[in-house]
Amino acid sequence: MTRTRDRRSAEGLLPRMEAIPGKKKTLYRYHPVGKKPISLGHDRLDAIRQVLDLLGEAPDTGTVKWVWEKYQESKRFKRLAPATQTDYRQCAIPILDCFGHRRIAGIDATMIAYYVREHRADAETRANREKSLLSNLFAHGIDLGVCKENPAKYVRPNIEEPKTEAPDALVLARFLAWVAKQTPQRRIIGLAARYASLAGNRQAEFLDLVWPQVDEAAGLIRIKRAKQRGKKRGEVIEEIEIKPALAACLAELKAIRPDRECLYVFPTRDNNAYSARGFKTLWGRVVRAAIAEKVITQETRFTFHDLRAYYTTEHKSLTGKLPDLHKNPETTARVYDRNKVVKRSSN
């Protein structure tokens, strides 16, 4: 018995495509030469786009936008830390605005240099991150066969001067004392800042910290170290000793809402873990409010990440050695050590 043909649903299809009528919808398929049919769904126009994409004949095939979409589906992108993925998505916005419609094979080093130096002159540090994403897109474009080289690697990044000042201890103490008198949610943000200054963890490491990780009997907090690669990904555990100042911080966190049971150490209003974006938003509001009330100034304000440098600087000042924050100690020394006096003994 021959299959019923639906000639109207097959109108305008590309070669090697077929339409199979169903009771309610028509299924579209594509027959590669010598291979099994590929299901294309029930939407005719979307099915045609999929075939054009497979054949490399879609209008946007080979553009920067097309490569970016393919890159997000790749294993390399999915292996990146969630925070890095989010950062790359933000970096993609100005890149696509400038290069999205262009064929990636037609972009050369001169165009990238102009983008980094002139087009993004008002955000030089951010331009370096965007150049890094462009380099990954060219590398992925080579894998996809739509370009032959990576011109981004020939463009030098903008010069970045690492910060040389850690947050001032008196300024930080004044800020934390002010936040301690604010609303419960702002107090939690302030206690997160105090925790970072005492333990030196990244936000990505403690935003989802839960109370079972706080072993008060052993006097330890156990946290998975972020930004590990390869086989060590998620396997390096940091054990942070709970000293009196950190113990007091944890006690205040417990006392903020004694009538609620919550799994997370730094909970949102509805007792969930903060997302990186949500925490960043609330931190910005707290800092702006502190500046408006003249608790801190524009000159003395600090970023949340600066608290990691504060911890490193204080740790070295007290113990004489840098804390173990990175696989490579040189990274800790270069990025976070902001001591102005180096102590050593004579022979």
pLDDT digits (tens, 9 = 90+) for 126-158: 999 999 999 999 999 999 888 899 999 999 999
Domains and CATH numbers, the chain: 1-58 (no CATH), 64-154 (1.10.150), 169-335 (1.10.443.10)
Q: At what angle do helices 169-179 and 306-319 cross, to 10 degrees?
A: 120
Residue 335 or 272, more confident:
272
AA letter at 269: R
SS (H, E, C) the chain: CCCCCCCCCCCCCCCCEEEEECCCCEEEEECCCCCCCEECCCCHHHHHHHHHHHHCCCCCCCEHHHHHHHHHCCHHHHCCCHHHHHHHHHHHHHHHHHHCCCEHHHCCHHHHHHHHHHHCCCCHHHHHHHHHHHHHHHHHHHHHCCCCCCHHHHCCCCCCCCCCCCCCHHHHHHHHHHHCCCCHHHHHHHHHHHHHHHHCCCHHHHCCCEHHHEECCCCEEEEECCCCCHHHCCCCEEEEECCHHHHHHHHHHHHHCCCCCCCECCECCCCCECCHHHHHHHHHHHHHHHHHCCCCCCCCCCCCCHHHHHHHHHHHHHHCCCCCCCCCHHHHHHHCCCCCCCCCCCC
The pLDDT score that the predictor gives to residue 1 is 42
Taking the mean position of all CA atoms in its chain, how far away is CA 331? 19
Q: Distances in Å between the alpha carbon of 28 and those of 6, 20, 22?
A: 11, 6, 11
Q: Enter the tokens of residue 244.
A: 């009196």
Closest CA to 52 of 25, 15, 79: 15
End-to-end CA distance of the chain: 99
- Band of residue 286 on the pLDDT scale cut at 50, 70, 90: very high
Q: What is the pLDDT of residues 184-209, one digit of tens each?
A: 999 999 999 999 999 989 888 899 99
Q: Work out the average pLDDT over 237-254.
A: 92
Out of 57-71, 92-106, 188-202, 301-315, least confident range = 57-71
Q: Enter the tokens of residue 310.
A: 């504060």
Residue 234 or 82, more confident:
82
Most confident residue range from 31-45, 52-66, 278-292: 278-292
Q: Distances in Å between the alpha carbon of 343 and those of 58, 169, 337, 340, 346?
A: 65, 20, 14, 10, 10
Q: Work out the average pLDDT over 172-191.
A: 94
